[in-house]
């Protein structure tokens, strides 16, 4: 199975100023492409050669895991945004957020705090278990809650490459601004 670079569901400049055209070009067009290319090279002749991405992330280790994890993470990340989006979720996801965190605003605060407090590089995820219970998961490096049997539904990339061109060392500001471009229809469908 050959893995391909995920197609962006928007133009490269559509998420500016939150995610600039230059950041998209580097982050998606070069950084993610490298993970995808490396993954395709690494799986040749292994038990993962014909496996889907979720299986590879769940079962692999080392370099294969790192490249598969980052491919999956970035696929979820880049497809959860849209121009003119933002706002708040509706329906069952909104109900689950309110039940788990008390309010959407408290959930946003906890996600932002998790992202700011994650030491080094990694990801912050809103994930659900098999019963739909939500949790915020802090994952270092290429980590993904799928390895814990959870369903990743919303992910914030806190590697510096995801925000540094525009925000420099202001990770907290970037996290706050991401809320304005989240496509809740996509996130709700994952839930």
Report the binding-site residues for Mn(2+).
27, 74, 157, 161
DSSP-derived 3-state class of residue 1: coil
Residues in the annotated binding site: 27, 74, 157, 161
Among candidate residues 120, 119, 121, 150, the one with its CA nearest the CA of residue 136: 150
The number of residues making up the chain comes to 191
- Which residue has 């962006």 as its token pair? 8
Beta carbons of 76 and 162 less than 8 angstroms apart? no
- Gyration radius of the chain's alpha carbons: 16
The Cα 117–Cα 119 span in angstroms is 6
- Cβ neighbors of 167 (< 8 A, separation 6 or more) are 173, 174
The Cα 190–Cα 176 span in angstroms is 22
Helix H, strand E, coil C: the string for 61-74 is CHHHHHHHHHHHHH
């Amino acid at each position: 199975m050959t893995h391909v670079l995920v197609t962006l569901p928007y133009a490269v400049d559509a998420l500016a100023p939150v995610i600039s055209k230059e950041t998209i070009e580097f982050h998606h067009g070069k950084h993610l492409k490298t993970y995808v290319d490396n993954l395709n090279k690494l799986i040749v002749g292994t038990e993962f050669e014909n496996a889907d991405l979720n299986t590879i992330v769940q079962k692999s280790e080392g370099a294969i895991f790192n490249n598969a994890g980052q491919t999956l993470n970035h696929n979820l990340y880049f497809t959860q945004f849209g121009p003119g989006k933002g706002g708040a979720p509706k329906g069952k996801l909104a109900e689950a957020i309110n039940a788990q965190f008390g309010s959407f605003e408290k959930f946003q605060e906890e996600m932002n705090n998790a992202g700011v407090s994650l030491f080094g590089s990694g990801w912050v995820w809103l994930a659900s278990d098999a019963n739909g219970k939500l949790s915020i998961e802090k994952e270092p490096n290429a980590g993904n809650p799928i390895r814990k049997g959870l369903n990743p539904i919303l992910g914030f990339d806190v590697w510096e490459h995801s925000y540094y061109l525009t925000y420099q060392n202001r990770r907290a500001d970037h996290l706050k601004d991401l809320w304005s471009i989240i496509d809740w229809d996509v996130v709700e469908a994952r839930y």
